[in-house]
């Protein structure tokens, strides 16, 4: 149980077939509640950190990118409806981590997002999430529908 009495999030972890740099896989789903994001991110970190040998990327890049992706899924994909679920799949080995976040929404076109750093947009309070993800991970892919993002972090 968590401190506020809710059941803690749990993750299913399984080994992946040998021959790939990705050795293990974790899957979890969470309700579309902002208050569960940090718990989900730390659950992923607990599993990935002992194996993925780039501590700095775990400490910062992974946490921020995963927080952004889950937050977008909850706010925009699920429209804040807590009954809708967000699915997280993370696969990792010593040199690479792949994180996929999928929601039940209709998706969006990531190519249409404006640059949040222009002088006229810089003072806005929102619109920086995908921008940060693109800068903090080595590779970002969206599915065709635009309701799932895959982020790849590699060891330097």
Partner 1 sequence: MGFATRKDPKGVVVIEVDGQLIVGNRQEFKQRLLDALEGGERKFVVDFARTGYIDSSGLGVLVSLSKKIRDEGGDLRLAGLNDDLKTLFELTKLDTLFAISDTSAEALAAF
Among 59, 94, 139, 143, binds partner 1 (CB under 8 A): 59
User: Could you say whether residue 6 binds partner 1 (CB under 8 A)?
Assistant: no
Strand order in the sheet with 12-15: 12-15, 24-31, 85-92, 96-102, 148-154, 139-142
Query: Residue 56 and residue 49: Cα distance in Å, rounded?
Result: 10
Comparing CB distances to partner 1, the nearer of 40 and 93 is 40
User: Could you say whether residue 63 binds partner 1 (CB under 8 A)?
Assistant: yes
User: Could you say whether residue 35 binds partner 1 (CB under 8 A)?
Assistant: yes
Report the interface residues with partner 1, using CB under 8 A: 34-35, 37-38, 59-60, 63-64, 67-68, 71, 116-117, 122-129, 131-132, 135
């Amino acid at each position: 149980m968590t401190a506020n009495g809710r059941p803690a999030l749990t993750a299913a972890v399984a080994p992946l077939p040998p021959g790939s740099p990705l050795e293990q896989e974790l899957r979890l789903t969470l309700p579309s509640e902002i208050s569960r994001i940090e718990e989900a991110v730390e659950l992923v970190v607990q599993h990935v950190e002992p194996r993925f040998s780039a501590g700095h990327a775990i400490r910062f890049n992974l946490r921020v990118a995963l927080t952004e992706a889950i937050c977008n899924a909850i706010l925009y994909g699920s429209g804040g409806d807590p009954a809708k679920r967000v699915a997280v799949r993370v696969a990792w080995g010593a040199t690479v981590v792949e994180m996929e976040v999928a929601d039940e929404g209709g998706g969006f076109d990531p190519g249409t997002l404006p640059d949040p750093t222009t002088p006229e947009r810089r003072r806005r309070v929102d619109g920086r999430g995908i921008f940060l993800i693109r800068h903090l991970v080595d590779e970002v892919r969206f599915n065709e529908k635009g309701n799932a993002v895959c982020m790849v972090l590699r060891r330097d």
